[in-house]
Amino acid sequence: MNNALNAEAAASSVLVDHLVRQQTLGRSLAQPFYTSDAVFQHDMDTVFMRHWLCLGHESQVANPGDFLTRTIGRESVIVVRDREGVVRALANVCRHRGSRICAKESGNTAMLVCPYHAWTYDLTGELRAIPHAGDLASAVADPDNSLQLLQLRIVQGLIFISFAVKPLDFSEVERAIDSSYGPYDWKNARIAHRETYSISANWKLAVENYVECYHCGPSHPEYSTLHALAQPTDRIQAMNDAMRRRTAGNGVNIPEVEAWWPSSRQGGEAVCSFRDALYDGIQTGSDGGKPVAPLMGQFKSYDGGVTSAHVGPASFLVAYADYGVIYRFAPLTLQTCEMELIWLVAGEAVEGRDYDLKKLTWL
Ligand code: FES
Ligand SMILES: [Fe+2]
């Protein structure tokens, strides 16, 4: 980072520190948190360039040459499986003049060819060819001309990336996801459907709206007939106890994980996972609560429970006994972001035979 950028980042930091000191606890964030370019830049530097972000499921790059690209703010990432089966995350920025290399959202390719002057990279990100190289011939062998490699981890089939050079410790997330979603066998799940929504709002509004369910009663009456969020604590406790007994009856144990507020300050990625019961008699998160897809993983019966996880700033996971949903949020600009929903079902499930897509994605 050059001096001007350092000065800009320092000024943003001062502004955000000031706004945080002014902020009254328990009240909505002050307007500049959503409208200031400097705060947005600070969000990008300290949140999205630092934390782990879920980009999808491994089945989206199942075969050698399969790739997907995703945008986070000004950054673009290519996730690609090479010929040996290794999945990598590469910056979607050509080493020659900085052009975007992949414009497509997904596909299969033998090489990554920059559209501008056709520098050609292999699937590991190494530069392999420069057309009409002339004086540049030696550049092919220069490892500095490989595409920039980003940190990537895959856990239970979920692809996480981090832009950080020294990423936050991911081990607590791995443990939490394995223990929470391993019983549903998300690793071998298949994607039934994906949907991306463009949102004309700052990313914080979208994420805040996702994590607060105070609005669920008035705004989502269908959801609220299944999920018992607004009931008195003792009723919820009794329902949760009954749900845990049903889950245990499947031979499944899903511990709750709380590694949220302190963990990123201590160098680890923030994660929490928790379980809630659906209303008595509701088996899953479908319209009416009836099964919509074959049971997943170790489940032999519908336990009427939902397992939720929050990972870092923008990745959320929800599992019922017969299907799951990945929710991922990505800022694009100060006032725009996108939310992607990815519905997962058991790996063997076949649309039309085992599930009706409309019923699965009803909400
Ligand atoms: S910018 Fe990619 S080849 Fe020139
Ligand atoms: Fe909502």
pLDDT per residue over 41-52, tens digit each? 999 999 999 999
**CA-closest residue to ligand 1 atom 1:** 97
Dist. CA 233 → ligand 2 center (Å): 22
Q: In this predicted model, what pLDDT tens digit does every residue of 269-326 receive, in sequence order?
A: 999 999 999 999 999 999 889 999 999 999 999 999 999 999 999 999 999 999 999 9
The full length of the chain comes to: 363
Contact 124, 88 (CB under 8 A): yes
Residue 99 beta carbon below 6 angstroms from any ligand 1 atom: yes
Nearest ligand, measured from the Cα of 120: 1
Q: What is the per-residue pLDDT for 1?
A: 52
Percent of the chain with pLDDT over 90: 84
| CA 327 to centroid of ligand 2, rounded, Å | 12
Nearest ligand by distance to the CA of 215: 2
CA–CA gap between residue 90 and residue 296 (Å, rounded): 32
Residue-wise pLDDT tens digits, 92-103 = 999 999 999 999
Q: Tokens standing for 275?
A: 């379980």
Distance of alpha carbon 259 from the chain centroid: 17
**pLDDT digit string (tens) for 136-182?**
788 888 899 999 999 999 999 999 999 999 999 999 999 999 999 99
Mean pLDDT computed over every residue of the chain: 95
